[in-house]
């Protein structure tokens, strides 16, 4: 009995200490990580999407709180004014891929409601197979010019998205992310316009 108690105690203490340390570390590095993520992940994607932006979308970013599946989250939006004067916004959504979530950054023209460009930001897909969705820009270029009347599903599921050969699960994750973008955009468009005034 005593041994039992000791076992439980030791395990509890160790896990508690470990949890404490980790939570402290997590909060203290959160900001740094976010800036790193912005710098290395979002920035290249934003740069690629808004290659003709006249402003700095990273700096002007704003957050809108919303609910996704009954969970409160904040979504970061990157507004941009393009060379031709049109206003656009970019934000990221996630879909489950093969190794974890696949992040898809989508830039949307606010006037025409059409996708300017899309880029994959983060993923944990198998190198050489699923990772091609990020490395190979020709795959995500199929989103360019799509409107929100399109169905963001894979073609063999009756949608409009081509699958990347050999990486169906990853492609599915990308299409789920795109569908999420559509949903969020349609829901949050008034607030976005409001913020961007």
Partner 1 sequence: MAQSIAKEFTKGLWTEIAPFRIVLGLCPILAVTNTVENGIGMGLATTFVLVFSNFFVSLFRNSIPAKVRIPCFIVIIATFVTIVELLMQAYTYPLFLKLGIFIPLIVVNCIVLGRAEAFASKNAPHLSIADGLGMGIGFTFSLAVLSAVREIFGTGAITFYETPIVLFGPSFEPFTFMVEAPGAFVCLGLLLCIMNLIPKK
Write the binding mask 139 to 168 for partner 1: x where contact by CB under 8 A, - elsewhere: ------------------------------
The Cα 156–Cα 39 span in angstroms is: 36
Question: Residues 73 to 102: which contact partner 1 by CB under 8 A?
Answer: 99-100
CB of 14: closest distance to partner 1 in angstroms?
Answer: 5
Provide, rounded to whole angstroms, the least separation between the CB of residue 152 and partner 1.
Answer: 26
User: Within the chain, where are the H helices?
Assistant: 2-37, 43-49, 132-135, 137-140, 168-195
Residue span binding partner 1 (CB under 8 A) among the ranges 3-11, 70-78, 80-88, 181-189: 3-11
We find the least distance from the C-beta atom of residue 72 to partner 1, in angstroms, to be: 24
Query: In the chain, what is the greatest distance between 2 CA atoms, to the nearest angstrom?
Result: 76
How many other CB atoms are found less than 10 A from the CB of residue 47? Answer: 13
Site string for partner 1, 10-49 (x = CB under 8 A): xx--xx--x--xx--xx--x--xx--xx-xxx--------
Buried/exposed 13-41: b ≥16 CB within 10 Å, e otherwise: eeeeeeeeeeeeeeeeeeeeeeeeeeeeb
Residue 82 gets which letter from DSSP?
Answer: B
Closest CA to 148 of 92, 103, 109: 109
Q: Please say which residue, 23 or 165, places its beta carbon nearer to partner 1.
A: 23
- Half-sphere exposure of 39 toward its Cβ, with a 13 Å CA cutoff? 6
Pattern of binders to partner 1 over 108-127, x per CB under 8 A? Answer: ----------------x---
Q: Which residues bind partner 1 (CB under 8 A)?
A: 3, 6-7, 10-11, 14-15, 18, 21-22, 25-26, 29, 32-33, 36-37, 39-41, 99-100, 124
């Amino acid at each position: 009995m005593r041994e039992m108690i000791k076992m439980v105690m030791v395990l509890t203490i160790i896990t508690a200490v470990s949890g404490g340390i980790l939570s402290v570390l997590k909060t203290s590095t959160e900001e740094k990580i976010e800036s790193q993520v912005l710098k290395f992940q979002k920035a290249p994607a934003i740069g690629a999407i808004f290659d003709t932006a006249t402003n700095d979308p990273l700096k002007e970013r704003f957050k809108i709180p919303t609910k996704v599946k009954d969970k409160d989250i904040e979504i970061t939006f990157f507004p941009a004014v393009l060379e031709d004067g049109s206003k656009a916004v970019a934000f990221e959504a996630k879909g489950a891929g093969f190794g974890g979530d696949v992040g898809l950054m989508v830039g949307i023209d606010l006037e025409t409601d059409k996708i300017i460009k899309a880029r994959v930001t983060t993923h944990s897909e198998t190198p050489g197979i699923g990772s091609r969705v990020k490395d190979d820009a020709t795959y995500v270029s199929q989103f360019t010019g799509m409107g929100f009347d399109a169905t963001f599903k894979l073609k063999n599921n009756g949608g409009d998205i081509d699958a990347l050969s050999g990486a169906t699960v990853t492609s599915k994750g990308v299409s789920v992310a795109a569908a999420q973008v559509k949903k969020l955009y349609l829901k949050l468009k008034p607030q976005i316009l409001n913020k961007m005034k």
